[in-house]
Amino acid sequence: MTDFKQLPLAPELHQALEVLDYAVMTPVQAATLPSILAGRDVIAQARTGSGKTAAFGLGLLSRLDADHAGVQALVLCPTRELADQVGKEIRRLARFLPNTKVSVFCGGVPLRPHLASLVHPPQVVVGTPGRVQELIDEGALVLDGLRTAVLDEADRMLDMGFEPAIAGILGQAPAARQTLMFSATFPEEIRALGRRFQRQPEEHTVSDGDAAVIEQRFYEVEAPRKADALALLLGDLKPESALVFCNTRRDVQQVAEDLAQRGFAVMALHGDLEQRDRDEVLVCFGNRSCQVLVATDVAARGLDIKDLPLVVSHGLASDVDTHTHRIGRTGRAGEAGLALALVAGDERRRVAGIEERLGGAVRWERIDLSRKPARPAPAVMTTLVVDAGRQDKLRPGDLVGALTGEAGLAATAIGKIDGFPTRTYVAIERSQAQKALERLRAGKIKGRNFRVRKLG
């Protein structure tokens, strides 16, 4: 079974799949959906970008009872970024289901608005374990009617120390619930978690062939010359966007500063950033106004950047599973991807584990550090910020109308628009950004004057 039309889903879900142009199931969807829809517990290994969100999303939505109030489905994610991504996808799938509310609850923002929103509880909750546990402790989130629980990227949640919170949360839910676990890697800790919280789970290890389109190259470069090597490789390859992984926050900041001095449009993502700063970094990287994102593994967890052509490990990951997660950010959904690793002498021993996982030797390349790197091209887009958002009833269409109307821009000059409660970000072609900024400041958006500024 590979066609979504063959699945026993409600007409409203089939309608959503048709609108979203979902016709043929990915391997993970084909492997797990029959079992999920039959009500069985499932533990599945599937790489990032393989379509697992739609798999468990359709499963939990198919089990909702429209006549029953309260939380019926819960998805736990390791990071806010992944939770936001999952929430958006489930809302898209649920668009034609009547009276279906999907709420996302994550830390990093005040607790009070979340408590207020639970006065009228949603049917579906997506969140990080820490914030979900807080809401349960406050008595605001009640799981008595939970039908489906999902642990998304379960291996990362264990790595981040969330197991006690997961145990506390699932301990509040009915034992008869369905529990689904998805993970990019399948260590024994994941199987133990399944044995603890699931009932005779079906295990699915899905190899969808995507890993074959990720080309990996390794370069032996000592630490003092890694900055030079990174600049050379980025200059040679000229990727539209690249994600560079470092092992520490200090390295992230240092590498980002070094690349900025060399002329790259670069931003840093690590745990010391305030939530608004994190949001803006991800917006800029996602809309192509930032070419290079330098990040730690935890900070980059949950990133869903489409068409990411290049991933670089500035410092080789300390374990094979982390390396697997890193390279899984590129080559998604069958697209070609390239993963580079800069390996110092004291990191060389870690390569053996990667070769064991690959079942063969890695590909080593040489790099001439005596030459100068090519001058980086500027980012293709610039981000403008409008200090108004969903709370002001400002929609993306309103902004497009203002830009193509009074501002006089062609629709092709407008890139991705990201809306938040109190602000909206719009990517504009770099050559048109100043014109757009001046026209928006001089004119009106939806008949009102809003503050507009350039980000960065």
Secondary structure letter of residue 262 according to DSSP:
T
Q: Which residues of 317-328 are buried (b: 16+ CB within 10 A; e: fewer)?
A: beebbbbbbbbb
Angle among Cα 4, 45, 180 to the nearest 5 degrees reads: 70
pTM to 2 decimals?
0.66
pLDDT at 225: 95
Question: In this model, does residue 257 exceed pLDDT 60?
Answer: yes
Which three-class secondary structure state does DSSP give residue 233?
A: helix
pLDDT range class, residue 86, cuts 50, 70, 90: very high
Name residues whose C-beta falls within 8 Å of residue 207's C-beta, 6 or more positions apart in sequence.
Answer: 27
Residue range 409-423: mean pLDDT, rounded: 89
pLDDT range class, residue 212, cuts 50, 70, 90: very low
- Give the number of other CB atoms < 10 A from CB of residue 48: 22
Question: In this model, does residue 156 exceed pLDDT 60?
Answer: yes
Question: In this model, does residue 208 exceed pLDDT 70?
Answer: no
Question: In this model, does residue 170 exceed pLDDT 60?
Answer: yes
Among residues of the chain, what percentage have pLDDT more than 90?
A: 61
Q: What are phi and psi of 145, to 5 degrees?
A: -100, 20
Reading the block at residue 11, the tokens are 């007409």
Greater pLDDT, 278 or 93:
93
Looking at domain 4-205, its CATH architecture is: 3-Layer(aba) Sandwich (3.40)
Which residue, chain included where needed, has tokens 């094979």? 320
pLDDT range class, residue 304, cuts 50, 70, 90: low
Reading the block at residue 271, the tokens are 């745990």
For residue range 65-84, what is the model confidence (pLDDT) as tens digits?
988 889 999 999 988 888 98
pLDDT at 136: 96
pLDDT at 18: 93
For residue range 87-138, what is the model confidence (pLDDT) as tens digits?
999 999 999 999 899 999 998 788 999 999 999 999 999 999 999 999 999 9
Sign (positive/negative) of CA torsion 35, 39, 43, 44? Answer: positive
Beta pairing class for 424-429 and 414-419 = antiparallel
pLDDT at 284: 94
Greater pLDDT, 454 or 405:
454
Domain 381-454 has CATH 3.40.50.20: no
Sequence ranges of the chain with CATH classification 3.40.50.300: 4-205, 210-365
Q: What are phi and psi of 52, to 5 degrees?
A: -70, -30
* Contact assessment for residue 290 and residue 281, using Cβ atoms and an 8 Å cutoff: yes
Question: In this model, does residue 211 exceed pLDDT 60?
Answer: no
The CATH code belonging to domain 210-365 is 3.40.50.300
**Whole-number average pLDDT of the chain:** 89
For residue range 375-394, what is the model confidence (pLDDT) as tens digits?
898 999 999 999 999 888 88
pLDDT at 271: 79
pLDDT at 278: 87
Question: In this model, does residue 207 exceed pLDDT 70?
Answer: no
Strand partners for 103: 125
Name residues whose C-beta falls within 8 Å of residue 327's C-beta, 6 or more positions apart in sequence.
Answer: 214, 216, 311, 337, 339
What gap in Å lies between CA 18 and CA 5, rounded to an integer? 9
Alpha helices in 118-198 (DSSP H): 129-137, 154-159, 163-170, 188-197
pLDDT at 1: 60
Among residues of the chain, what percentage have pLDDT more than 70?
A: 95
pLDDT at 344: 94
pLDDT at 307: 75
Reading the block at residue 161, the tokens are 């120390």
Least confident range from 200-204, 205-209, 295-299, 446-450: namely 205-209
Residue range 272-281: mean pLDDT, rounded: 87
Residue range 293-313: mean pLDDT, rounded: 81
What gap in Å lies between CA 222 and CA 207, rounded to an integer? 35
Question: In this model, does residue 140 exceed pLDDT 70?
Answer: yes
Residue range 274-300: mean pLDDT, rounded: 88
Residue range 166-178: mean pLDDT, rounded: 93
Angle among Cα 383, 276, 71 to the nearest 5 degrees reads: 115
pLDDT range class, residue 210, cuts 50, 70, 90: very low
Greater pLDDT, 65 or 307:
65
Sequence ranges of the chain with CATH classification 3.30.70.330: 381-454
pLDDT at 10: 93
Least confident range from 45-49, 83-87, 247-251: namely 45-49
